[in-house]
Structure 1
Amino acid sequence: MRTTSSTLSTPRRHLVQLIALSTLSLAAAGGARAADPAYPATQQRPVQDQFHGTTVSEDYRWLEDFESPEVKRWVAAQNALTRARLDAIPGREALAARIKELVMTRPTGYGSLGHYGKHWFAMKYEPGRQQPRIVVMDSPDKPETVRVVLDPVQLAADGSLAIDWFKPSPDGKRIAVSLSEKGSERGSLHLYDVASGKPVDVVIPRVQFPTGGGSVSWQADGKGLLYTRYPAPGERAESDAMFFQQVWSHRLGEPLSKDRLVLGEGLPRIAETFLASGPKGLQIAQVLNGDGGEEAFWLQPQGGRWQQLSGFQDGVKGLQAAADGWLYLLSTKGAPKGQVLRLKLGQPLSKAEVLVPEAEGTLTQFKLLDGQLYLSYLLGGPSELRRLDLKTRKSQVLPLPAIASVDALVKGEKNELLASVQSYTQPQAWYRVHKDGHLAVTALAQKSNVDFSDVEVLREFATSKDGTRVPLNILRPKGLKLDGSHPVLLYGYGGYSVSQTPGFNALRKVWLERGGVMVIANLRGGGEFGEAWHLAGNLTRKQNVFDDFIGAAEHLIARGYTKPERLAIQGGSNGGLLMGAALTQRPELFRAVHASVGIYDMLRVELDANGAFNITEFGTVKDEAQFRALLGYSPLHKVKDGTRYPAVLFTTGDHDGRVNPMQSRKMVARLQAAQSASMAERPVLLRTSANAGHGMGSSTSEVIAERTDSYSFLMDQLGMPLQKP
């Protein structure tokens, strides 16, 4: 989620000590079907469920219980097998060295930039450091003034402590920080004095969980704050511990026993609340009804009561409050690509007027500044930045690099606007937008540690099953001949209205410099073409996402980029589900798959805490039509015995609170049993990390280890040289 002090916008929404043995046989009950002898023996214990008159069977439900000693032994055996296979790949050491080189020399970057009081605050990402640090500086043009406020590595030397998010007080004298361990995203709120860097006040527990996230907003005087809070022990049933998020108020210096509930009664069980402050003490709460895109806004004027501005069906996706009492709203009601409404504070939503009507691009964010409205649009993936003079109504397009992304718009001191911009070949840079419309780079621009001058970026369009045109962003070496011989890595996500926008990643060079091509697909389910594009790929329409991805693969083959035996695919989380669907629906189309922290059993995902938040995106088995759709593509249930599947590497983390690691365990067991190809030829492997979760907050060492494993696996399967040519 991107926020400033007065703006809210749409949120959203990766080392184990191994037992020294190559296989581990588990005690098997009579009648268990033997898998490939090279795999650890895995019991089949059939279980049947009834859904709307349909009987559904599965064999590996026992792998859901990670507290079971035999499940832990099974995971250890799978990890040992995976290590033995991956560590033996020729050239792996050279590849690992190259990946480490790029990670450890990655450019210094600044995220979450904002101006509070007399200082600029940011998260500073630095080469070689296990975790980013919170810093302050005098100006984006004076990075030499940077001073560290909080370094989580000073609190946990192994890099296992991560900053989930932070928010400075309005005067910039204090910061509130959510800290969590080992990628768990289970955060407690800590308060620090900016001048000394020392902790102040009490630690507030249960402010952040991977289910509904968390947030904080300071009160105008800087002496109190609002924070999200999950139920304390005994307040609700244990099964509801990560639900029923509420907003509480705390005054510095007072005990937690005096904190009071200010917002939350009547909100959904799966509410996700994000807080911000506006001018004159205004408090803003953006409440999501799970992850499906339904949002509502509540406002509290200073000294007043909370009032609901919009409901879940009203289409308000973002809000900025101005000092003159006007509210500016990003709305998709009747305008799926987004429009800007204007409304006087205190008036009902029905009184809102259209200030900026829906345009060709998809409006993702805006910022009002000194009578100018800056608007960032998505053009199917890349961004366009426009400026509208509210008095003259004159509009202009501001110059951006080709195929670039505007990640954030930030208001600074003296009515200046900063924009974060990056592309596939140029790292993030913070630009100052001048009154004449040109963008001047600040001193916070990242300096790339890798040369992409020999790479070109193209946009092509694939055709999906129903004729929909699907954009593909193709990174390829210059002068590439389309002779069908090239190793291609195709990436996709397609969900939650999350858009795949141009972003810099130095590690892509590892693939490209070995003769490979990388492709990022803009699939339905994302937000690249507005809310209609998102809704075309959720609930009972989810199959459209998989058809889009398959269409992308077929396009790359038909165009002469590659052939099935040289095509690999990669995706994580919702993209992991995409990997499972693609490999089970079209196994002959791909040679290798990396599926990270994915969902594979669609009939049981909603039983997990975060799975309940996904119901508004995926649907529920309780609804018959949605159940039929879920069963129709659920990867676990689409696996067929005796099928020649691609080689697959599944990766997950013990501390993943967003997707239960059992999803990967069950899918691996099912595929290992069904795979007709030998393990030597097309292995199905599981990598489970004890020091990671869903990917957020992973240490630098964990990132290096995971990328080395996934790249070496895919490259080996496609016959690519692991050593740099």
Structure 2
Amino acid sequence: MTSSSSSAYPLAAATSYPPARRDETVDMLHGTAVEDPYRWLEAAESSDALDWLRSQAQLFGQARQDYSYLAGFRARVAQLFGAGAVGSPVWRGDRCFFTRRAGDQNHAVLLVSEPGDLASGSARIERVLVDPNSLDPDGLATLDAWQPSQEGDRLTYQVSVGGTEESVLHTIEVASGDQLDEPIDRARYSPVAWLPGGDAFFYVRRLDPDLLPEDEKQYHRRVWLHQVGDNSENDELIFGNDPEADPHNYYGVAVSRDGRWLTVVAASGTAPRTDVWIAALPGERCAPGSKSDSADAATADRLVFREVIVGADAKTAIHIGRDGRMYVFTDLNAPRGRIAVADPRSPDPSSWKDLVAEDPEAVLEEFSILDGPELDVPLLVVATSRHAISQVSVHELADGTELGQIELPGTGSVGGLTAKREGGHELWFGYTDFTSRTRIYRWDAVDGTTSLWASAPGDSSKAEPGDSSEAEPGDSDAARAAIRTVQRTYRSKDGTEVRLFVIASAEAFDAAGRPRHTAPTILYGYGGFGISMTPGFSPTALAWVERGGVYAIASLRGGGEEGEAWRRAGMLGNKQNVFDDFHAAAEFLIDSGFTTPEQLGIFGGSNGGLLVGAALTQRPELYSAVTCSAPLLDMLRYQHYGLGATWMSEYGDPEVAEEFDWLLAYSPCHNVHAGSRYPAVLFTVFEGDTRVDPFHARKLTALLQHATASDSPILLRSEAKVGHGARSVEKTVALTADQLGFFARQLGLT
């Protein structure tokens, strides 16, 4: 039950904030009266909300004038982004597909590298396939995903505009760049699985929203089969139409290299479990590169899906190798992950045989198979993460026997293991750490050598794609050469050991890695959805540290740094553990002499925005400044907006009494107390955000401005035509500079 009326609103004691009426809106939930005085801010298009937002923008603009380091931060962050970026390659025969962003580009460009004319001295040539920078002059178009066909002669790519992430799927001929289809909409988060021959592919698309209730238009995905050149409205529905299927399901699809098997993976929202099915694809098989009738034969009435694993409380993915075996990546009975093998004709878990058993300390991340004729034995290359730091091991494919480790360029993160689909002896992988931009390395399994294959265009130690020349693995920028990272372990409230990365100038540490003095410090965390905080190049951290600050990143429960059990220790009814871990990280930094409460700021976005929102409402005395970006903050109404309904497996359902109690206990919007002295807060939100609705930050801004007894500012930075995820470099630079300028002003960076 909800009631509502209006009343006058007194300004906060110390600062004159824009007026915001307080309605007497009360919901009765499970016998508890829950006040919601700013419910009207959920409707951003209302005249009252628009007036309030304009006033908040003016307030932030005035405060921003005092950010003395703003221009310096903007210049340095732009310079750090100015080196550009490069992505891991995807090989199809002699064609190599990859992304690269030049320093003057807002978005990465998709290119293809092909054999050139040796007579003219050109070993390989590059061509642009998709350039999102040319699709929108304002930099609002983003390239969301792409997938070449098995032969590499066709390609799908997905583009969205204005931060909405509402991808539209396009199909092109690689040689000419010509469009082969009319664009397909409603393809957000859609994988694409090509059939051999390139005449058709499986993909995921939402049902027509006109057929659905208003609050379900973002959901109801299905797996479809599309014949290239046909009208997508005639595509055949292949999977997901079971009336018992969860409307929040996300689907993954894959077709084996030989075209014999289709696999489907389903996850209910972001739940930490997946269901997997496999179906034999009918029709005459052919060698890759030639045409067959498989596209016509792969119809719903001829596909029989068999359960691989359904209903188990585990995450599982499968890959059909070129040897015909089914390789299983799973955390079933192994919270840190294991790799098993089975016959795809007998795929249930009782037939799985371990190749790589669970490691008691390392978390399984990904694997790749090398089985070219140049090798004495086929190999399985496995990437794991030990306390958030990557390592890569090499095993015999037949039985999993470990043969050794691949030496990495440093202590950092590895991702994007790729090999040629046709077999081979080469492996490509991306590497990054806190001071090194992502570079792509090539490992040769025949001679065991690792060499730099590609780096960002502005990186002084770059190599062109395909160039295996040696180069120094470390970043050569002298301004960052004196930066040091240490990893520390501290104990949380319940005694659990948690790890923390601390980044600062080398001279800030003594020989034992202890701080020489306190400094303005930013503590960053996330703690959710099994996402790990691993070493990675961060212009935000580097720009801060170069000016004398300290930047710390906590590996909180709820993340994936220590496996699935670590994640589950920080979700649902255990969510308070995440906040306790974060408070304990702050106390560790203070007690160790890195900083003081007056010099400590906290930073988080999305689920990390919930983290810092809870931190500032639970322990306001512990923090001096907070930057809270694209946050979840009203945990009793989050499920009604954006993609919130898909996250109830992470947070809980307010409609369930027990789960309501969990959520109410920490929901930032419901734990603001009048007269408390809250730290300075900068909320940054994006009006194109279709994942986390900006109303969360609007509400908590108004609540804190009304309640705080401190003269520390509560500010809201709202940005149009930008969403939750990918955005232009230009907009990222501006946002980062504003956030760092705010921290510098509040924490006394000198």
Give the match for residue 64 of structure 1.
42
Give the match for residue 410 of structure 1.
418
Distance 2:402 2:172 in 1: 45
Give the match for residue 7 of structure 1.
none
Shift of 1:378: 1.1
Alignment pair present for 1:351 and 2:358: no
Q: Give the partner amino acid of 2:691.
A: R
Give the match for residue 45 of structure 1.
23
Give the match for residue 471 of structure 2.
none
Q: Which of 172-181 and 492-501 deviates more?
A: 172-181
Contact map agreement 1:109 1:444 (CA 8 A) in 2: no
Shift of 1:607: 1.4
Give the match for residue 285 of structure 2.
none
Shift of 1:89: 2.2
Give the match for residue 368 of structure 1.
369
Alignment pair present for 1:377 and 2:384: yes
Q: Describe how 1:233-632 pairs up with structure 2 within 5 A.
A: 233-266=209-242, 267-281=245-259, 282-303=261-282, 304-313=303-312, 315-349=314-348, 350-360=350-360, 361-370=362-371, 371-391=378-398, 393-412=401-420, 414-435=424-445, 438-446=448-456, 447=459, 448=475, 450-451=477-478, 452-480=480-508, 482-632=515-665
Q: 5+ unaligned residues in a row in structure 2: which ranges?
A: 117-121, 283-302, 372-377, 460-474, 510-514
Shift of 1:589: 0.8
Instruction: Say how many residue pairs are matched.
Output: 683
CA offsets per residue over residues 456-511 of structure 1, 9 Å max, x none?
11110121000011111111111215355211111100000001111112342211
Give the match for residue 718 of structure 1.
747
Distance 1:499 1:135 in 2: 29
Distance 2:621 2:123 in 1: 52
Distance 2:357 2:737 in 1: 47
For the residue of structure 2 that corresponds to 1:288, the secondary structure is strand
1:143–1:386 Cα change, 3 Å: farther
Give the match for residue 676 of structure 2.
643
Distance 1:581 1:339 in 2: 35
Shift of 1:62: 0.6
Distance 2:218 2:594 in 1: 46
1:671–1:439 Cα change, 3 Å: farther
Distance 2:39 2:381 in 1: 52
Higher relative contact order (CA 8 A, sep 6+): 1
For the residue of structure 1 that corresponds to 2:368, the secondary structure is strand
Q: Give the partner amino acid of 2:137.
A: A
Give the match for residue 167 of structure 1.
147
Shift of 1:332: 1.1
For the residue of structure 1 that corresponds to 2:454, the secondary structure is coil
Alignment pair present for 1:184 and 2:192: no
Shift of 1:319: 1.9
Distance 1:607 1:491 in 2: 28
Contact map agreement 1:338 1:530 (CA 8 A) in 2: yes
Shift of 1:449: 7.4
Contact map agreement 1:576 1:596 (CA 8 A) in 2: yes
Q: Give the partner amino acid of 2:431.
A: V
1:649–1:461 Cα change, 3 Å: same
Distance 2:642 2:668 in 1: 21
Q: Percent identity between the aligned chains?
A: 33
Shift of 1:439: 4.6
Displaced runs of 4 or more, over 6 A: none
Contact map agreement 2:508 2:517 (CA 8 A) in 1: no
Distance 2:429 2:69 in 1: 41
Contact map agreement 2:427 2:443 (CA 8 A) in 1: yes
Q: Describe how 1:8-27 pairs up with structure 2 within 5 A.
A: none
Q: Give the partner amino acid of 1:185.
A: E
For the residue of structure 2 that corresponds to 1:137, the secondary structure is strand
Distance 1:687 1:489 in 2: 19
Q: Give the partner amino acid of 1:157.
A: P
Shift of 1:144: 6.9
Q: Select the residue among 40, 64, 68 that pairs with 1:90.
A: 68
1:87–1:317 Cα change, 3 Å: farther
1:144–1:69 Cα change, 3 Å: farther
Give the match for residue 289 of structure 2.
none
Alignment pair present for 1:686 and 2:716: yes
Q: 5+ unaligned residues in a row in structure 1: which ranges?
A: 1-27
Q: Which of 269-278 and 526-535 deviates more?
A: 269-278
Shift of 1:606: 1.1
1:373–1:314 Cα change, 3 Å: farther
Q: Give the partner amino acid of 1:35.
A: A
Contact map agreement 1:49 1:57 (CA 8 A) in 2: yes
Q: Give the partner amino acid of 1:645.
A: Y
Alignment pair present for 1:667 and 2:700: yes
Q: Give the partner amino acid of 1:400.
A: L
1:113–1:143 Cα change, 3 Å: farther
CA offsets per residue over residues 175-214 of structure 1, 9 Å max, x none?
1111111111011111122222232211111111xxxx22
Q: Which of 495-504 and 142-151 deviates more?
A: 142-151
Shift of 1:65: 0.6
Alignment pair present for 1:704 and 2:733: yes
Contact map agreement 1:405 1:501 (CA 8 A) in 2: yes
Q: Which of 486-495 and 429-438 deviates more?
A: 429-438
Q: Describe how 1:185-224 pairs up with structure 2 within 5 A.
A: 185-208=165-188, 213-224=189-200
Distance 1:238 1:139 in 2: 51
CA offsets per residue over residues 112-146 of structure 1, 9 Å max, x none?
52112321111212212111111111389x99732
Q: Give the partner amino acid of 1:59.
A: P
Contact map agreement 1:35 1:42 (CA 8 A) in 2: no
After superposition, the CA RMSD in angstroms is: 2.0
Shift of 1:366: 1.4
Alignment pair present for 1:658 and 2:638: no
Q: Give the partner amino acid of 1:684.
A: I
CA offsets per residue over residues 32-59 of structure 1, 9 Å max, x none?
3333552110110021112222221121
CA offsets per residue over residues 309-362 of structure 1, 9 Å max, x none?
222425243322112321111111111111111110121412112222111311
Contact map agreement 1:449 1:506 (CA 8 A) in 2: no
For the residue of structure 2 that corresponds to 1:234, the secondary structure is helix
Contact map agreement 1:296 1:310 (CA 8 A) in 2: yes
Distance 2:142 2:600 in 1: 35
1:133–1:648 Cα change, 3 Å: same
For the residue of structure 2 that corresponds to 1:145, the secondary structure is strand
Q: Which of 488-497 and 264-273 deviates more?
A: 264-273
Contact map agreement 2:316 2:332 (CA 8 A) in 1: no
Contact map agreement 2:629 2:684 (CA 8 A) in 1: yes
Distance 2:230 2:446 in 1: 50
Q: Describe how 1:132-171 pairs up with structure 2 within 5 A.
A: 132-138=108-114, 145-171=125-151
